């Protein structure tokens, strides 16, 4: 099965969802992220969903689980880049994404992560791989 890649950037993990995910892929991402946070001691997770054309209740639940799980492991999660049409649809679907922090784009999301984790200057380590 195709898996969603997770990149490490300093103390943060970066995920860009670029495909129409089937449910098993979403579940695998949940597990992979948990394992990576524990293994790397990452303090933040940034999930870029700007390529996602829909967010349904299943993906919404996955984002909530990842946010909750990372919090328990002392890491913050920020979801960035939601398309306006997706946001409008989410509200009507009734999905509140409670407990999930969001930001308009990657830059703002990184800023939020740095503020929330009290870590400055993460971008100095940009692109660093494990």
Partner 1 sequence: MPANESKELPLRTDDDIVRMRQAVRSIAIETGLSLVDQTKLVTAASELGRNTRIYGGGGSVKIEKVDNGIRRGVRLTFEDHGTGIPNVELALKDGYTTGGGLGLGLGGSKRLCNEFEIDSRPGEGTRVMIARWKP
Ligand X SMILES: Nc1ncnc2c1ncn2[C@@H]1O[C@H](COP(=O)(O)OP(=O)(O)OP(=O)(O)O)[C@@H](O)[C@H]1O
Applying CB under 8 A, the span of 2-10, 36-44, 67-75, 79-87 interacting with partner 1 comes to 79-87
Return the H-helix or E-strand segment holding 12.
Answer: strand 12-16
Applying CB under 8 A, the span of 33-41, 50-58, 103-111, 115-123 interacting with partner 1 comes to 50-58
Applying CB under 8 A, the span of 5-13, 14-22, 41-49, 106-114 interacting with partner 1 comes to 14-22
93 binds partner 1 (CB under 8 A): yes
Specify the DSSP class assigned to residue 120.
-
Cα-Cα-Cα-Cα torsion 1, 41, 73, 118, nearest 10 degrees, comes to -130
18 binds partner 1 (CB under 8 A): no
Q: Which is nearer to partner 1, 50 or 89 (CB)?
A: 89
Smallest distance, ligand X to C-beta of residue 58, A: 6
Smallest distance, partner 1 to C-beta of residue 80, A: 18
List alpha helices for 3-125, DSSP H. Answer: 23-40, 57-72, 84-93, 106-117
Q: At what angle do helices 84-93 and 57-72 cross, to 10 degrees?
A: 90
Tell me how far CA of residue 85 lies from CA of 40, 59, 90, in angstroms.
35, 16, 9
Smallest distance, partner 1 to C-beta of residue 126, A: 33
58 binds partner 1 (CB under 8 A): yes
Binding residues vs ligand X (CB under 6 A): 57-58
């Amino acid at each position: 099965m195709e898996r969603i890649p997770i990149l490490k950037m300093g103390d943060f993990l970066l995920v860009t969802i670029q495909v129409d995910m089937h449910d098993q892929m979403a579940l695998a991402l949940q597990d992979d992220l948990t394992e990576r946070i524990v293994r790397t001691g990452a303090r933040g997770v940034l999930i870029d969903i700007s390529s996602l054309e829909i967010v349904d209740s299943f993906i919404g639940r996955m984002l909530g689980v990842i946010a909750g799980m990372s919090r328990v492991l002392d890491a913050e999660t920020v979801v960035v880049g939601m398309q306006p049409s997706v946001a409008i649809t989410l509200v009507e679907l009734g999905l509140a994404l409670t407990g999930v922090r969001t930001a308009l784009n990657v830059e703002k999301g990184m800023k939020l992560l740095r503020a929330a984790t009290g870590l400055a200057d993460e971008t100095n380590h940009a692109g660093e791989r494990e």
